Amino acid sequence: AQSVTQPDIHITVSEGASLELRCNYSYGATPYLFWYVQSPGQGLQLLLKYFSGDTLVQGIKGFEAEFKRSQSSFNLRKPSVHWSDAAEYFCAVGSSNDYKLSFGAGTTVTVRA
Amino acid sequence: GAGVSQTPSNKVTEKGKYVELRCDPISGHTALYWYRQSLGQGPEFLIYFQGTGAADDSGLPNDRFFAVRPEGSVSTLKIQRTERGDSAVYLCASSLEPNNEQFFGPGTRLTVL
């Protein structure tokens, strides 16, 4: 069975500082990996995805993530955080054989001025 | 174009009542998914439709939960004899094909008193 761990429940970062959110997955086959963002009262918005190929993936809003198979990780990064990045972030795993996504518990990001 | 829509946005009901939650997927998307998100958790898979048929309902917690998609577009999630533990945000997603990017609706927040 596939599973996702997001070790950090809550992260506080200053506006303009860099951000890194951790994601570790457990899956036997080649995973499809996703990062979603959820703002209060909003649905989940896809930031980026990895299916295959280049392990450094660029997404929307200036986010990027790197797939490291040896570490079973797919960490999300942003070089300079904006106040509008305050939200909850979810890492998810799927695969070519499994259409349903398994989500981590999420990391809440607070941005301080 | 229009995204995934869900109605109602909020539903408050009493224990033991029956509720229906509706999902309108993106036009042309053949795959439709229901997830449930409890407070402080990531979404958990409930059921997946490919066309009109439920291809995988392994995530439904018990037989009080049922979902239909009679014409391969709109889907309704039905919960009988609601319990307080059913309180959660119910998310619907659709994708053009299985294993493609899933687009999520804003969710229905269900509160069972």
pLDDT at residue A33 greater than cutoff 60: yes
- % of chain A residues with pLDDT over 90: 79
Report chain B residues whose CB lies below 8 A from the CB of A42.
Answer: 106
| Per-residue CA distances from B60 to A48, B6, B35 (Å) | 28, 19, 9
Closest in A41, A42, A105 to B42, CB measured: A105
Closest CA to A36 of A99, A103, A98: A103
The two three-digit tokens of residue B75, written as one number? 């889907």
For residues A93 and B73, give the distance between their C-alpha atoms in angstroms, rounded to a whole number: 25
pLDDT for position B49: 94
pLDDT at residue A29 greater than cutoff 80: no
pLDDT for position B64: 97
- Identify the band that residue A64 occupies on the pLDDT scale cut at 50, 70 and 90: very high
Whether A104 and chain B come into contact, CB under 8 Å, resolves to yes
Whether B25 and chain A come into contact, CB under 8 Å, resolves to no
With a cut of 70, which residues of chain B have pLDDT below it? 1
Nearest CA in chain A to B109: A41
pLDDT for position B1: 57
pLDDT for position A40: 81
Taking 3-state DSSP, the helix, strand and coil percentages for chain B, each rounded to the nearest 5, stand at 5, 50, 50
Closest CA to A80 of A59, A58, A103, A63: A63
How many beta-carbon contacts under 8 Å exist across A and B? 58
Whether B57 and chain A come into contact, CB under 8 Å, resolves to no
Select the more confidently predicted residue: A78 or A97: A78
pLDDT tens digit sequence for B55-68: 899 999 999 999 99
